[in-house]
Chains A and B, each alone.
Chain A
Amino acid sequence: DTAVSQTPKYLVTQMGNDKSIKCEQNLGHDTMYWYKQDSKKFLKIMFSYNNKELIINETVPNRFSPKSPDKAHLNLHINSLELGDSAVYFCASSPDSGSGGYTFGSGTRLTVV
């Protein structure tokens, strides 16, 4: 199926650990994104990336880093996890950076204990 897929779906880890969330899209889209959704459902953009440019939301701690091995993948790596990092993280993609027609993955629920 054509889609945006994220793994894992659930991730429970201890404070101070380093973890990665993987994202892959087979839609042929040029741009990929990471969003963080907090417990009140508020969505915050973290990163936008295409093969030319990485845009980082300046409020995102530098413990978070996107890594893109190729156009179809944008993984999220998090160092030194903190309790406040607990949230649902969504990957998304779009055909270009301006259309707004994003396709979202089903989310990764990260719980830091």
Chain B
Amino acid sequence: GNSVTQMEGPVTLSEEAFLTINCTYTATGYPSLFWYVQYPGEGLQLLLKATKADDKGSNKGFEATYRKETTSFHLEKGSVQVSDSAVYFCALIWAGNMLTFGGGTRLMVKP
């Protein structure tokens, strides 16, 4: 079946540090890939997405590239801010099935 694996958190960084959150997937075909973000006490929000190999999704300074050869979709940001502190979820969808999430990675950014 389809599944998503994320690095376990928490990830703790100082402000302006470089961020990478690893995500790999297993799928029977070529899924669409997503990153969602959950701020404290809120629901999930779509951060970015990529629908085919080599696509790069980007939003709010975050980027992720769909790598078919390594089945990965790592999230990166060049300079994190305290306001980026949240839980980040990698997810996939394939052939009209429901969105499948990874376990989430908590990011904590200190001033």
- Beta-carbon contact of B104 and A41 below 8 Å: yes
Hey, what's the 0/1 contact readout for B99-111 against A, CB within 8 Å counting as 1? 1110110100000
- Beta-carbon contact of B42 and A106 below 8 Å: yes
Nearest chain-B residue to A44 (Cβ)? Answer: B101
Question: 8 Å CB contacts to B: which residues of A45-101?
Answer: 45, 48, 55, 90, 92, 97-101
Known contacts A55-B98, A90-B44; A100/B93 CB under 8 A: yes
B77 at the interface (CB under 8 A from A): no
- Beta-carbon contact of A98 and B104 below 8 Å: no
Nearest chain-A residue to B9 (Cβ)? Answer: A41
Size bracket of the A interface: 20 to 34
Hey, what's the 0/1 contact readout for B31-70 against A, CB within 8 Å counting as 1? 0101000100111111001000000000000000000000
Question: 8 Å CB contacts to A: which residues of B1-45?
Answer: 32, 34, 38, 41-45
B contact residues around A106 at 8 Å (CB): 41-43
Nearest chain-A residue to B42 (Cβ)? Answer: A106
A contact residues around B103 at 8 Å (CB): 40-42
B contact residues around A104 at 8 Å (CB): 43-45
B87 at the interface (CB under 8 A from A): yes
B contact residues around A41 at 8 Å (CB): 38, 87, 103-104, 106
B contact residues around A101 at 8 Å (CB): 46, 49
**How far is B45's CA from A4's CA once the two chains are assembled, in angstroms?**
12
**How far is B41's CA from A109's CA once the two chains are assembled, in angstroms?**
10
A contact residues around B98 at 8 Å (CB): 33, 45, 48, 55, 97
Residues of chain A whose beta carbon lies under 8 Å from any beta carbon of chain B = 4, 33, 40-43, 45, 48, 55, 90, 92, 97-107
Considering the complex of A and B, which 7 residue pairs feature the smallest CB-CB distances, nearest first? A104-B43, A100-B93, A98-B96, A41-B104, A43-B101, A104-B44, A106-B43
What are some 7 contacts across the A-B interface (CB < 8 A)?
Answer: A43-B101, A90-B43, A98-B93, A98-B96, A104-B45, A105-B43, A106-B41
